[in-house]
Amino acid sequence: MLADKAFKGYENTCENWVLSVTALSGAFNGTTRTYFDGMNPEDGKSLRPVSLLQLCRIGVIIYDWFDIPWLKNYYNFGFDHFNTSWRKIGIWGLIDCLLGNAGPFASGDWILPDLTLQGSIKLNSHLHTFPNTYYFSYATKRTSKVMGITVPSGILGIHPLLFIRILQMSLWRHPPDVPPPYKGYRDEDWWDNDGALNTISMTHPRFPVEHPSQLVVKDSDCQPFLPGIWYYKIVEGDHILFIVNRERAGVQFDLIYDSIFERCRKHAFRKNPTMPNHII
């Protein structure tokens, strides 16, 4: 957005204002989990009539339509600007929302279509890796190979809410009667996962064009770091490891964040100033 001059009244912005980007379990290339939950693999945009996502969509619409103050104070989905309260749209407005003609899900501009492989490819077609910015990424994985078969790596180390998801995603098969989302697609590339995202999706932007990248085992192996390259590590952990639950991650949580700050302090710097108020 800085590179695209997206901020009205600030036409002097540029991509060099961002020194470094660090991604933790980032959904760069989408996730096959969206298809298990109800997105159509045919187009990556529409919902199957009977699915978990369809049930959630209907529940959210009805929840907002009833507009019960104490419930909204407990949890608000943030859809107030759509004016879907029964006081404003009545019963016919509710029906219109449920049919997908109005409301927060009518435009297709919500997170699940963007998290399909097709949606991510569309978003990535406008994404750039800039030559003066440092890029670091941590991809999580909670699967392993047993006799050539991808399975969850243990039981005790995986959050109960994610174990079934990890198993599901490790068994993913793209429907044979549906065109693959990109040229060269293979199911096995998408089997490693952390229960929410596929590991291949989290390393760096890959589709439709793969951005420059390098796998990091030890930081010392690839120093000095260079801008314009996605340096990525594969971390053994499920999706809740260092995203949500610090107590559960324990020491590993601290080590990861300490390493991020240490790396940025020591290895991400510019010889020439790039901010407008620093230019002499």
The residue with tokens 């016919």 is: 92
Q: What is the average pLDDT across 130-142?
A: 95
Read off the pLDDT of residues 187-226 as tens digits, 9 standing for 90 and up.
999 999 999 999 999 999 999 999 999 999 988 888 899 9
* Residue count of the chain: 280
* CA separation for the pair 76, 84 (Å, rounded): 13
For residue 38, give the nearest of 124, 125, 105, 104 by alpha carbon: 105
Q: What is the average pLDDT across 130-134?
A: 94
* CA separation for the pair 250, 101 (Å, rounded): 47
| pTM for this prediction | 0.89
* CA separation for the pair 239, 194 (Å, rounded): 5
* CA separation for the pair 84, 74 (Å, rounded): 18
In the chain, the amino acid numbered 23 is A
- 197 C-beta neighbours (distance < 10 Å), count: 24
Read off the pLDDT of residues 224-265 as tens digits, 9 standing for 90 and up.
999 999 999 999 988 887 776 667 667 777 888 898 999 888
* CA separation for the pair 107, 100 (Å, rounded): 9
Structural class in CATH, domain 2-44+116-269: alpha beta
- Whether the ω angle into residue 152 lies within 30 degrees of 0, i.e. cis, is no
Q: Could you give the residue range(s) of every CATH 3.40.50.1820 domain in the chain?
A: 2-44+116-269
- Predicted pLDDT at 160: 85
Task: Assign 67 a pLDDT band (cuts: 50, 70, 90).
Answer: very high
With H, G, I as helix, E, B as strand and everything else as coil, classify residue 171: coil
Structure-block tokens of residue 25: 């379990």
